[in-house]
Structure 1
Amino acid sequence: MLINRFFSEKMKGHKSSLEDEINFTKALKMKYTSMKDAFENGVIDDEYLEERGLSIDQVNREIEYIDNLLQSNTSIIINPYALNGA
């Protein structure tokens, strides 16, 4: 999975290209979007999200944040220590 590979490389100190950072961010958005869809379709519930330290509001905020980040000209800097095992 792209997220795990990217996280592993960052932890080892590998520098990533801007394209890698954008792809990682898009993969993270897909993860959150899948969670949102699963929640809306009753596949997962609040308890599932809570076990992962999330709520549906946080998932929606993350999706919105990533959308804004990808649309802006802001460079994407991913700190591997702040990823929380993404």
Structure 2
Amino acid sequence: MPSLLGQVELAEVLDLTTVQQLREDLAAAIAEHNIIHIDASKVERAGTPAIQVVLAAGRDLSADNRKVVITKASDVFRAAFRDLGLDQQFSEWSEE
């Protein structure tokens, strides 16, 4: 049975070279927790594939009546969502 709260700290660079590790980290957290806090405070560069992985994780959790919370998002991470037209999704998941 999943425990209540897990945390995933995002890397400074979220691009094609790091997206597989991001997917694995989020999948492991999803398997073990009901609520995942994603600490995005260190993100200095975020590409579309990484944002897609975060979106997929959030939707997987939501489908199971679980939750993702984006914490301490850097301006770059926030802008990556905005640039993709995902302001509303960011707002729904952000604790800020």
Q: TM-score range by the shorter chain?
A: 0.3 to 0.5
Q: Identify the structure with the greater strand proportion.
A: 2
Larger radius of gyration: 1
State the TM-score, normalizing by the size of structure 2: 0.33
State the TM-score, normalizing by the size of structure 1: 0.36
